[in-house]
C-alpha cells in the first residue's frame, strides 16, 4: 500500500492510523535507510509483519542497496510466506520518477526492479486541500484545530486555501516567513536567512539528500545573498543559521528536554543533524524542512542553481551514492567538467574496484567518452591517464582515435599504431578495420600494412585481427581476382584452415514482437475488410496456441485463445489484443473499452498498449481518443513509442499533441520534447528559452539537445558543454589544431 501526497498533507498520519486500526497486533519494522532495509529483507521477514517505508524514495533509490531491497520485496510478495504488508508514503513527483523506465546504465544495474515493484502497489492519494463539504461537517472544540481551520479558510493566497493539515504542521506559517503574502510577519526571515534557505533548497534540488553538510551550506549561501554583501561569510552566516534553526534548538533528544511549542513559535526551517563520516568523525549537517523543499522545487524548477552550489560541491569527496546522484544531475545540465570532478575521486583501476567503485568508475569513463564526442580535449588527456588502469577507458580512447583516424588525422593514426604495437588488442582491431576499409578503397599502402601486421604471431588467446581482416579482404576479391585466390591458397598452406581466421558475421531475424501479421493488421485497422478476413485466417493458421485447432471456425479459435490468454499465455494475450484493436478500428466501442482496460493492467499485457498506440497512429481522424489512457500507462515500457507519436504530430503543427508531449513526465517524453525544441531553437528564441528551462530542471536529453541547438547557432565554433546558467562553453577538438 502506497499513500501519495504532498508535504504536510497528512499522508504519514493517514497511513499510521490505518495500520494501527486494521493491523493492531502485527509487528512493524521501519528501516531508516536503504542499506538497513536491504539487510532486513535478506535476513528474512516473518509473516504478519508491516514493513514501514515512510518517504519511500529514500528507502528504494536507484542505487545498489535500493535495487537489492526492491528485488527482495518483489521476491517476498511472490513467495508463500504468509501475509506481509508493505506500507509506504511518497510525494507525487517521486512516484512519477520511480515509475519511469530507468536509463541504460541503471537498467544494467538492475534498477528496473523498482518500477516493477510499484506495479504491485495499491496507490491511495491524499488530497492537499479539504473541500467545503468536508469543513461543513467538522465538529471540534479543540482550539488549535479551530484556529487552523480559520487560518486556512480565510487566507487570500490562491494555493493555501483549506490546507488544514499544512497549517497544523506549521508548513504554511514557515513558508509565509520566507515569502510573505500581504503584510510581512514579525518573524519574517532576514535576507541572510533567505540566502541560507535558498542555498539549502538548491542543494536538495540538484540531488544532495538530507542532511546537508554545514560546509556545503556555507559555500553555497553567498551566491544567494540579495543584495550581495562583500563581508566575509563568517560575519553573517552564523547569525543566519541561528535564525533558521532557532525553533529546533529548544528540544534536545539526547537529554530529553522538549521545551519548544510549535503551535506558538513555529517549526524550524533547518534542523541540526550531527552525523558521522565513513571514518567515524562527526560533522555538522542540517535537514531542510520538507514543506520548504516542495515549494522550492515548484517555485525554482526552471531557474539555474548558483555557480556557488556546483563550485562548493566539487571541493569535497562525497559518499558513492551521493556522488552518483550529483554527477547525474550535473551531467543532465550539461555541466560536464563538474560531472568529471564529482566522479574522479571515486575512480579506481580495474584490479582495485569494489561494486560501488566499479559503477562510479564506469560512469566516469562513459562520461569522458561522451565528452570526447563533443571534442573536449581536456577529456582526452584525462582518459589517456585512466587508460593505464582500465580496459573500458582504453576501449573508449581507441574508439575515439579510430573516429579521428578515419578522417585522415595522422596524429590519431600514429597513436593507434603505438597502442597496437604495445599489445592493446582493441587498438589492433580498430587499426585493422581502418586498414581494411582503405584497402577496399584501393589504397595499396593499406593492404601492404595489413599484410605486415598479419605476419605477426597471434595473441596468447589465438586471436589475430590482421589475419582475419586480410582473409576477409582476399575472400571478397577472389571471386574476380585470380591473384587474390592464389594468395589465399598460399596463406592456407602457411596458416592452416582459413575458416579459423575468418569469422563471418550472421544477422538473426528475431521477427516482429507481436507476430508476422502487422502489415495485414495495419490495413485491417483502417477499415480494409479483406485484410480483416485474411488476418483472422492467418491467426487461425499460424498462432502456435491454435495448432490443434487448424481448420476450426474463427469463433472456436477465439474462444480457445481467450482461455489461454486468461491463463497468462503471452502470445495469446497479444493476439487477443490485436483482435480487439481491429474491432475498435471499425467502430466497436466495447472492443475499444476492453482494449483500454487491458492496457491499464500494465506490464502484464504490453500488447494492448502496443495496439492502442497503433490505433492512434493509423486512425487519428475517427474519434478514437486514447490519449488519457496512454498518458496514464506509458510511464514505463511504452513511453518512448507514445512520445515519438506525439512528437511526430507536434512537428506537423499539432499544438494539441505538443501540449500532451509537454505533459509526459518520464525520461523518454523529455527526450522527445527536447529533440523537437532543439530543431526549432535554431530560429525560434521561445523554443530556446523553453529548452533552457528544461536544462535547469535536469530533464533527460535536454542538455544534449541544447548543445546541438547552440552548435547550430554558433557555427563554426565548437560547443563542448554548458555553464551553470545554461550558456554555451566554446572550445575545439584536439585534432583541430
Summarize pLDDT for 364-421 with one digit per residue, the tens.
Answer: 888 888 888 777 877 888 888 898 888 888 988 999 899 989 999 999 999 999 999 9
CA 362 to chain centre: 17
Give the contacts of 127 (CB within 8 A, at least 6 positions apart).
5, 9
> In which band, very low, low, confident or very high, does the pLDDT at 340 lie, cut at 50, 70 and 90?
very high
Residue 133 covered by a domain: no
**Are 497 and 458 part of one and the same domain?**
yes
CA distance 270 to 216: 14
> Residues 48, 166: one domain?
no
Domain that holds residue 387: 317-396
Mean pLDDT of 596-601: 74
Contact 10, 162 (CB under 8 A): no
Nearest partner of 581 among 554, 599, 557, 555, judged by Cα: 599
Q: Which long-range contacts (CB under 8 A, 24 or more apart) does 343-346 make?
A: 343/367, 344/382, 345/317, 346/317, 346/320
Same domain, 580 and 681: no
Q: Is the dihedral of CA 371, 377, 378, 384 positive or negative?
A: positive
Do 160 and 190 have their domain in common?
yes
Among 503, 520, 555, which residue terminates a domain? 503
Alpha-carbon span 89 to 75, nearest angstrom: 21
| Percentage with pLDDT > 70 across the chain | 81
469 CA to centre of own chain: 40
pTM of the model: 0.75
Q: Is residue 257 part of a domain?
A: yes
Domain boundary among 316, 341, 357: 316
What sign has the CA pseudo-torsion 614, 616, 622, 626? positive
Same domain, 171 and 307: yes
Distances (CA, A) of 586 to 329, 538, 554: 47, 19, 18
Question: 307 and 339 share a domain?
Answer: no
pLDDT band at 687 (very low <50, low <70, confident <90, very high): very high
**Shared domain check, 428 and 287:** no
309 and 167 in one domain?
yes
Q: Is the pLDDT of residue 264 over 60?
A: no
Domain final residue, candidates 476, 503, 530: 503
Question: What confidence score (pLDDT) does residue 178 get?
Answer: 93
Mean pLDDT of 258-283: 72
pLDDT of 618 over the 50 cut: yes
Q: Please report whether residue 406 resides in a domain.
A: no
Q: Which three cell numbers stand for residue 431?
A: 587499426
Other residues' Cβ atoms within 10 Å of the Cβ of residue 70: 28
Q: What is the pLDDT of residues 538-570, one digit of tens each?
A: 544 444 333 333 233 456 666 767 777 777 777
Gap between the Cα atoms of 49 and 69, Å rounded:
16
Average pLDDT for the chain: 81
Count of CB atoms within 10 A of residue 519's CB?
Answer: 12
pLDDT band at 170 (very low <50, low <70, confident <90, very high): confident
Strand order across the 49-53 sheet: 27-29, 49-53, 84-90, 2-4, 123-125
For residue 709, how many C-alpha atoms fall within 13 Å in the half-sphere facing its CB?
30
Q: Say whether both 145 and 155 belong to one domain.
A: yes
Q: What is the pLDDT of residues 194-204, one digit of tens each?
A: 999 999 999 99
Asked if residue 333 and residue 290 are part of one domain, the reply reads no
Domain count, the chain: 6
Cα separation of 111 and 105, whole Å?
A: 9
Peptide bond into 211 cis (omega under 30): yes
Q: How high is the pLDDT of residue 336?
A: 93
Q: Which residue has the cell 486468461?
A: 566
**Whether residue 687 sits in one domain with residue 625:** no
Same domain (yes/no): 253, 374: no
Question: pLDDT-based confidence at 535, cuts 50/70/90?
Answer: low
Q: How far apart are CA 118 and CA 115, in angstroms?
A: 5
Q: 79, 74, 11, 89: which is closest to 38 by C-alpha?
A: 74
Q: 44, 163, 35, 26: which is closest to 87 by C-alpha?
A: 26
Residue scoring higher pLDDT (22 or 574): 22
Which range among 8-12, 258-262, 290-294, 702-706 shows the weakest confidence by mean pLDDT? 258-262
Amino acid at each position: 500500500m502506497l499513500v501519495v501526497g504532498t508535504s504536510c498533507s497528512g499522508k504519514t498520519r493517514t497511513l499510521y492510523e490505518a495500520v494501527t486500526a486494521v493491523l493492531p497486533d502485527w509487528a512493524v519494522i521501519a528501516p531508516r535507510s536503504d542499506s538497513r532495509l536491504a539487510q532486513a529483507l535478506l535476513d528474512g521477514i516473518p509473516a504478519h509483519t508491516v514493513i514501514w517505508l515512510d518517504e519511500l524514495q529514500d528507502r528504494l533509490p536507484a542505487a545498489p542497496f535500493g535495487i537489492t531491497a526492491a528485488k527482495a520485496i518483489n521476491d517476498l510478495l511472490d513467495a508463500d510466506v504468509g501475509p506481509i504488508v508493505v506500507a509506504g508514503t511518497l510525494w507525487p513527483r517521486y512516484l512519477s520518477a520511480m515509475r519511469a523506465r530507468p536509463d541504460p546504465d541503471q537498467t544494467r544495474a538492475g534498477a528496473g526492479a523498482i518500477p516493477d515493484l510499484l506495479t504491485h502497489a495499491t496507490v491511495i492519494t491524499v488530497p492537499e486541500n479539504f473541500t467545503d463539504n468536508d469543513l461543513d461537517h467538522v465538529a471540534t472544540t479543540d482550539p488549535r484545530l479551530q484556529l487552523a481551520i480559520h487560518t486556512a479558510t480565510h487566507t487570500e493566497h490562491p494555493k493555501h486555501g483549506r490546507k488544514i493539515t499544512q497549517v497544523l504542521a506549521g508548513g504554511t506559517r514557515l513558508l509565509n516567513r520566507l515569502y510573505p503574502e500581504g503584510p510581512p510577519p514579525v518573524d519574517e526571515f532576514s535576507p541572510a536567512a533567505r540566502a541560507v534557505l535558498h542555498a539549502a533548497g538548491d542543494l536538495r534540488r540538484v540531488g544532495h539528500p538530507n542532511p546537508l553538510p554545514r560546509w556545503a551550506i556555507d559555500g553555497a549561501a553567498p551566491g544567494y545573498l540579495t543584495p550581495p554583501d562583500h563581508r566575509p561569510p563568517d560575519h553573517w552566516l552564523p547569525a543566519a543559521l541561528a535564525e533558521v534553526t532557532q525553533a529546533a534548538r529548544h528540544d534536545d533528544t539526547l537529554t530529553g528536554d522538549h521545551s519548544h511549542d510549535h503551535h506558538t513559535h513555529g517549526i524550524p526551517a533547518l534542523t541540526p543533524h550531527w552525523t558521522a563520516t565513513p571514518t567515524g568523525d562527526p560533522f555538522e549537517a542540517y535537514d531542510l524542512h520538507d514543506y520548504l523543499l516542495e515549494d522550492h522545487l515548484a517555485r525554482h524548477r526552471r531557474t539555474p542553481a548558483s555557480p556557488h552550489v556546483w563550485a562548493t560541491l566539487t571541493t569535497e569527496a562525497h559518499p558513492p551514492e551521493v556522488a552518483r546522484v550529483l554527477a547525474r544531475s550535473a551531467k543532465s545540465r550539461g555541466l560536464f567538467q563538474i560531472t568529471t570532478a564529482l566522479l574522479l575521486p571515486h575512480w579506481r583501476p580495474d584490479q582495485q574496484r569494489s561494486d560501488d567503485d566499479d559503477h562510479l568508475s564506469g560512469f566516469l569513463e562513459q562520461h569522458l567518452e561522451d565528452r570526447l564526442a563533443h571534442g573536449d580535449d581536456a577529456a582526452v588527456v584525462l582518459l589517456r591517464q585512466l587508460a593505464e588502469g582500465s580496459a573500458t577507458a582504453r576501449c573508449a580512447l581507441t574508439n575515439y582515435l579510430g573516429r579521428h583516424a578515419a578522417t585522415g588525422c595522422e596524429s590519431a593514426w600514429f597513436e593507434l599504431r603505438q597502442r597496437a604495437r604495445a599489445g592493446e588488442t582493441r587498438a589492433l582491431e580498430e587499426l585493422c578495420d581502418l586498414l581494411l576499409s582503405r584497402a577496399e578503397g584501393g589504397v595499396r599502402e593499406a593492404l601492404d600494412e595489413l599484410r605486415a601486421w598479419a605476419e605477426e604471431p597471434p595473441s596468447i588467446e589465438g586471436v589475430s585481427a590482421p589475419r582475419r581482416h586480410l582473409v576477409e579482404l582476399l575472400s571478397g576479391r577472389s571471386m574476380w581476382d585470380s591473384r587474390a585466390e592464389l594468395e589465399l591458397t598460399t596463406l592456407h598452406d602457411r596458416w592452416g584452415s582459413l575458416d579459423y581466421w575468418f569469422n563471418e558475421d550472421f544477422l538473426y531475424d528475431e521477427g516482429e514482437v507481436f507476430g508476422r501479421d502487422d502489415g495485414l493488421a495495419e490495413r485491417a485497422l483502417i477499415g480494409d475488410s479483406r485484410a480483416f478476413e485474411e488476418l483472422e485466417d492467418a491467426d487461425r493458421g499460424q498462432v502456435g496456441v491454435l495448432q490443434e485447432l487448424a481448420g476450426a471456425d474463427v469463433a472456436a479459435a477465439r474462444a480457445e485463445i481467450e482461455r489461454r490468454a486468461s491463463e497468462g499465455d503471452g502470445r495469446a494475450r497479444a493476439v487477443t489484443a490485436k483482435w480487439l484493436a481491429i474491432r475498435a478500428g471499425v467502430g466497436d466501442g466495447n472492443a475499444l473499452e476492453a482494449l483500454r482496460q487491458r492496457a491499464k493492467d500494465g506490464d502484464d499485457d504490453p500488447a494492448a498498449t502496443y495496439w492502442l498506440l497503433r490505433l492512434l497512429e493509423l486512425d487519428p481522424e475517427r474519434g478514437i481518443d486514447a490519449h488519457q489512457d496512454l498518458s496514464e500507462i506509458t510511464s514505463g515500457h511504452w513511453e518512448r513509442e507514445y512520445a515519438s507519436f506525439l512528437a511526430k504530430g507536434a512537428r506537423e503543427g499539432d499544438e494539441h499533441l505538443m501540449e500532451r508531449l509537454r505533459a509526459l513526465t518520464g525520461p523518454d517524453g523529455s527526450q522527445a520534447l527536447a529533440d523537437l525544441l532543439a530543431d526549432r531553437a535554431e530560429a525560434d528564441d521561445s523554443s530556446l528559452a523553453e529548452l533552457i528551462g528544461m536544462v535547469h530542471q535536469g530533464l533527460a536529453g535536454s542538455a544534449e539537445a541544447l548543445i546541438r541547438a547552440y552548435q547550430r547557432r554558433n557555427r563554426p565554433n565548437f560547443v563542448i558543454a554548458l555553464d551553470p546558467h545554461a550558456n554555451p562553453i566554446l572550445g575545439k577538438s584536439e585534432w583541430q589544431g
